[in-house]
Amino acid sequence: MRVMVVGSGGREHAVVWKLRQSPNVTEVICAPGNPGIARLATCVDVPPHAVEKLADLAVVQRVDLTIASAEECLGNGIVDYFNTRRQRIFGPTSEAARLAFSRYFAKELMLKHKVPTARYAAFDREDLARAYIASRKPPIVIKPDGPCHGLGVTIAQSQQEAHQALTELFSGRFGRSTKTVIVEEHLDGQEVSLEVVCDGSRAVMMLPVHVHRHRLDEDHGPITPGTGAYAPLSGVSDKVIEAVVTRITDPLIAALQNSGTPYRGVLNFNLSIDHHDQPRVLSIGPMLSEVGSQVLMPLLDEDLFEIFWAVTEGNLAHFLDSGFKFSPYYCLAVVMCQQDYPQTERTGARIHGLDALEASDVLRVEKQVVEEARPITINVRPFVFHEGTAKPANSVNTGGEPLLETASGRVLTLAVLAESLLDAKVAAYELARKVEFDGIQYRRDIGDRGLG
């Protein structure tokens, strides 16, 4: 089978890598892809928003299955268009994807079906939003109606910060998706990202993942799509999973099916788990988590192609009884960003140190267990997923390390598969020291919460 993946980030890199493991897949095409993906697939420079060109490309390349992964293609109705041309595609239709593309729609649907979530108010007038915020006590959560590539969410610790967030949203900084602004109560609890694969009427869960969303250590700085992640999680009990299924995923999937817009694809739930093990929905995404996917794909012990194909057939029955299988290891990922991300996105900095990491399936890393004692050597599996890299214009590789430069604020994700979370963390940060580019910055506390 020939498969096409639409997108160009680290999520798509991880998906392409996993699809390449499938005995069912003979070739992978990625549009537009990136230099890391180009090591695994044929990259074609068609942007995700060019839906008609992508459909034509799928015909020319004799593609059997297209994976609509990027936010832009889903937002531009790629699944609807492919369906009209009877081309097989994995992903939700535009109507079904409203659950993830409009926070207001999602909130109203959750309210109607008694799905637990934060209390909220929605505003399309700035003066009314400011009056409402003046009546609330911080912290106050302020969000644009649309996803905005994971940006635009503020947890305001003061009235001044809340009003500044409103100014940015209503000024159009994050585009058309800010015509409506959501103001929520702040929920205290453990944050968990949970990916659910839906076939229109049923769903199968992936492993729960903890995604670090704040830019800086100790959850300071602006909120992003994710600056690191790890799985599995020891603190998510069977009671929590049962509550998620009965109170959140089942009611929402049934509501969409009963309204004539069944959801086929991935729903990414960002949840808050309180001290009574009760989950509440913080947000919903229409695809695999940007960073969570980069720890899930190395852990997934299933044929990803078979999962995607089963969804397009509307039949996940094969996976319902036992669920998806995962390896018994731990995976931890660290996202390497430019220093000023997400406020600005500097590009063009030369990247060094990737060749040794990308050339090895297994690396040996020394771990210092007891101070002044001889270090212990551990074997780990490294993964380098490209978020925003590019080949320099008019560059010529003379046989040394590959010529790459930064192309966005999010540059690389370094993930490590190891026998324990501690080993994965130690190895990830040891290996991260080998990567260099001007302005490099990454969090130093990924995984600390899981280590207690």
CA dist., res. 270 & res. 222, Å (int): 17
The token pair that represents 418 in the structure block: 């190891």
Closest CA to 415 of 352, 350, 358: 358
Q: Which pLDDT score is estimated for 153?
A: 92
Instruction: Say yes or no: domain 2-90 is CATH 3.40.50.2300.
Output: no
> How far separated are the first and last CA of the chain, in Å rounded?
45
Predicted local confidence at residue 15, as pLDDT: 98
Positions of CATH 3.90.600.10 in the chain: 330-441
Q: Are 33 and 8 in contact (CB under 8 A)?
A: yes
Give the per-residue pLDDT at 151: 81
DSSP 139: S
pLDDT digits (tens, 9 = 90+) for 259-305: 999 999 999 999 999 999 999 999 999 999 999 999 999 999 999 99
Q: How far apart are CA 192 and CA 211, in angstroms?
A: 7
pTM of the model: 0.94
E strand or H helix at 132, and its extent? Answer: helix 126-134
Instruction: Give the side-chain half-sphere CA count within 13 A for 99.
Output: 32
Closest CA to 416 of 142, 228, 281, 171: 228
Distance CA 277, CA 296 (A): 23
Question: What residue spans in the chain does CATH classification 3.30.470.20 cover?
Answer: 191-326
Q: How many CB atoms lie within 10 A of CB 320?
A: 12
pLDDT for the residue 375: 75
The amino acid that residue 20 corresponds to is R
Mean pLDDT by 10 residues, the chain (452 residues): 97 98 98 97 98 98 97 95 98 96 95 97 95 95 85 93 93 71 94 97 97 95 95 93 96 97 97 95 94 98 98 95 95 96 89 86 71 72 96 69 89 96 94 95 96 85
What's domain 119-186's superfamily in CATH?
A: ATP-grasp fold, A domain (3.30.1490.20)
Name the nearest CA neighbour of 409 among 390, 393, 388.
Answer: 388
Provide CATH code, domain 330-441: 3.90.600.10
DSSP structure string for 17-60: HHHTT-TT-SEEEEEE--TTGGGTSEE----TT-HHHHHHHHHH
62 close to 68: Cβ distance less than 8 angstroms: no
Which segments of the chain belong to CATH 3.30.1490.20? Answer: 119-186
* The CATH fold of domain 191-326: D-amino Acid Aminotransferase; Chain A, domain 1 (3.30.470)
- Contact by Cβ (8 Å): 48, 32: yes
3-state secondary structure of 93: coil
CA 431, CA 429: separation in Å to the nearest integer? 5
